[in-house]
Amino acid sequence: MRWIWIDKFVEFHSGQRAVAIKNVTLAEEHLHDHFPGFPVMPETLCIEAMAQTAGILVGEAKNFEEKVILAKIKKAAFFDYVKPGDTIKLEAKIESITDEAASTTGRISCDGKLVAEIDLMFSHIDKNLAGKEFPQENFVFTDTFKSLMRGAAFNS
Amino acid sequence: MVELMRFILIDRVISLEAGREIKTVKNVSLAEEYLADHFPVFPVLPGVLLLEGLVESASWLVRETENFAHSMILLEQARNVKYKSFLAPGGQIEYTVTAKTIEENVSSFAGFGSSNGEQIVEAKFALRHFNLADEDSGMAAVDAKIIENMKQRWKLLW
Amino acid sequence: MAMSRDEIFGEVQEVLVDALGVDDDEVTSGATLMGDLGAESIDFLDIVFRLEKAFGIKIPREELFPAESLMNNPEFVNNGKLTEIGLGELREKMPHTDLAGFENDPDINKLGDLFTVGAIVNYVEGKLNSA
């Protein structure tokens, strides 16, 4: 199971908002456990998809120099479930951003219907978490994530 | 050839008080493929999978308490989910989930996870539980299959 | 923007209820953010962002919760207690807080007790009145 929960960016407004999409397909193994006979995308993985959309938006705002990690899920509310064959659209907006942290709001929709509202907080870990040890290099924004940016419709 | 990974984020139930509380554990191992991506050189269990562990623990508490009445148990809402520390391979996390209310189709919980005395995650969340047949009576057989599957899985955990 | 202290308190209460997942009645003027309401580092950042949005003000984090820089500076801390210089810094940075009790025993582990709901209300009131 790769840990990439979005497929591509369709809009990217640096420092402000981004829109990504994810296709949900029976080829994804975990769906067969959740649940056997009626696969739906686990809500926690929907949260991860939003965290990746919003996290890349926040990271790019600082030129991927900071290690940006999910620190708090302020609120995640689900109004519908998502099935194989669906394409979900994830829209994330930066609400606040400082040297230490960022706050984002987001919504997931499918075919125009609201699936979820997810508000997150990210921490720039070099500026926080004193006392915890981790490697120097930016292991968060790997080439895999950066490659999602290629082909996105960039607007500044 | 890619291995078949299972989407089960707890390993064992260590205590259960129907309608009230459940404690479970999960081992973290480098055998879990997604750790290679999260993160390279610094593998830690992804935060949303910590939440999933809490959600699964609560779901089992609901299933046991309502005697496997419903097939579908989904996360409806999560709030103030805080990640306090990292959980690395070789570690084990113990989840404690306490029910605030468990009604027929909705339930709410407070939960936390700790490892070696260190707090890793805490959350407040709500689940919804239903049968597909509630909307479409033709789906009753699918409900039955899911429930049977969950009962088998329960034998592995408790 | 002329808000009464009660109105400010009401907004601050709502911010803390949302940010910390506590009940209305737990958010009293004397309640401490860390001890009573369970706030942690990430929550402090969340609270600052929400207060900025709720009141339309800019809050440099160091102004509202100046603990970190004080605790890490050897000029300000000696043997786990704030020095006179450290206390002076604290008084200057937190004019919105009643420091009398803390000054009697300036144990840095007790710095967190200074961050009360009332102190936040004082701070916001000060910011709005000087705007």
At C22-45, the pLDDT tens digits run 999 999 999 999 889 999 889 999
Output the pLDDT for position A156. Answer: 37
β-strand pairing of B12-17 with B118-130: unpaired
My answer on whether omega of the bond before A78 falls inside 30° of 0, hence cis, is no
- Counting residues of chain C whose pLDDT is more than 70, the rounded percentage is 95
The minimal CB distance from C42 to the residues A95, A96, A123 is found for: A123
Out of B23, B38, B124, B153, which one is annotated catalytic? B38
User: A72 and chain C: CB distance < 8 Å anywhere?
Assistant: yes
CB contact under 8 A, C40 and B84: yes
Among A20-29, A82-91, A127-136, C75-84, where is mean pLDDT lowest?
A: A127-136
Listed by number, the residues of chain B in 113-152 with a beta carbon closer than 8 Å to a beta carbon of chain C are: 124
Question: CA-CA distance, B64 to A42, in Å (whole number)?
Answer: 21
Q: Is residue B3 part of a domain?
A: no
Query: C1-59+115-131, superfamily in CATH?
Result: ACP-like (1.10.1200.10)
The minimal CB distance from A72 to the residues B4, B75, B83 is found for: B83
Does the pLDDT of residue C106 top 90, yes or no?
A: no
Give the domain CATH number at B43: 3.10.129.10
Q: What are B28-48's pLDDT values in tens digits?
A: 999 999 999 998 888 999 999
Q: What are A43-72's pLDDT values in tens digits?
A: 999 999 999 999 999 999 999 888 899 999
Nearest CA in chain C to B82: C42
pLDDT band with cut points at 50, 70 and 90 for residue A133: low
State the amino acid at position B132 in one-letter form: L
User: B84 and chain C: CB distance < 8 Å anywhere?
Assistant: yes
Question: What is the CATH architecture assignment of A8-146?
Answer: Roll (3.10)
Does the pLDDT of residue A129 top 70, yes or no?
A: no
Q: For an interface test with A, which of C46, C71, C72 has the most A Cβ atoms less than 10 Å from its Cβ?
A: C46
Residues from chain B contacting residue C20 (CB–CB below 8 Å)? 80
Q: What are B77-125's pLDDT values in tens digits?
A: 999 999 999 999 999 999 999 999 999 999 999 999 999 999 999 999 9
Closest alpha carbon to A121 in C127, C68, C18, B113: C18
Q: Where do we find the tokens 């981004």?
A: A18
Output the pLDDT for position C36. Answer: 93
The number of domains in chain B is 1
Q: Give the chains touching C; criterion: ≥3 Cβ pairs < 8 Å.
A: A, B
pLDDT band with cut points at 50, 70 and 90 for residue A73: very high
pTM confidence score? 0.92
Does the pLDDT of residue A31 top 80, yes or no?
A: yes
Output the pLDDT for position C96. Answer: 79
Output the pLDDT for position A155. Answer: 43
Instruction: Give the residue extent of every domain in chain C.
Output: 1-59+115-131, 66-113
Nearest CA in chain A to B47: A70
Q: What are B43-89's pLDDT values in tens digits?
A: 999 999 999 999 999 999 999 999 999 999 999 999 999 999 999 99
The minimal CB distance from B78 to the residues A1, A45, A73 is found for: A73
CB contact under 8 A, A37 and B4: no
Does the pLDDT of residue C46 top 80, yes or no?
A: yes
Nearest-neighbour CA in chain B from A112: distance (Å): 20
Q: Is residue B2 part of a domain?
A: no
Residues from chain B contacting residue C40 (CB–CB below 8 Å)? 82, 84
Does the pLDDT of residue C6 top 90, yes or no?
A: yes
Question: CA-CA distance, B61 to C16, in Å (whole number)?
Answer: 30
- Counting residues of chain C whose pLDDT is more than 90, the rounded percentage is 45
Which of residues B129 and C92 earns the better pLDDT score? B129
* Phi (first) and psi of residue B108, to 5 degrees: -135, 150
Output the pLDDT for position A151. Answer: 61
Closest alpha carbon to A41 in A54, A28, A50, A52: A28
Output the pLDDT for position C63. Answer: 82
Q: Is residue B100 part of a domain?
A: yes
Extract the tokens encoding B137. Answer: 């009576």
Residue-range definition of the domain harbouring residue B107: 12-150
Does the pLDDT of residue A10 top 70, yes or no?
A: yes
Q: Is residue B69 part of a domain?
A: yes
DSSP secondary structure of B9-67: ---EEEEEETTTEEEEEEE--TTSGGGGTS-TTS----HHHHHHHHHHHHHHHHHHHTT
Nearest CA in chain B to C18: B80
CB contact under 8 A, B80 and C20: yes
Closest alpha carbon to A94 in A16, A154, A10, A11: A16
Output the pLDDT for position B1. Answer: 42
Looking at the DSSP assignment, which residues form a beta bridge with residue A121? A72, A103
Question: CA-CA distance, C60 to C52, in Å (whole number)?
Answer: 10
pLDDT band with cut points at 50, 70 and 90 for residue C99: confident
CB contact under 8 A, B8 and A81: no
Based on the residue annotation, tell me whether B38 is a catalytic residue of this protein.
yes
Q: Is residue B158 part of a domain?
A: no
Instruction: Give the residue extent of every domain in chain A.
Output: 8-146
State the amino acid at position C125 in one-letter form: E
Extract the tokens encoding B35. Answer: 């750790």
Output the pLDDT for position A149. Answer: 77
β-strand pairing of A154-155 with A8-13: parallel
Nearest-neighbour CA in chain B from A111: distance (Å): 20
pLDDT band with cut points at 50, 70 and 90 for residue A128: low
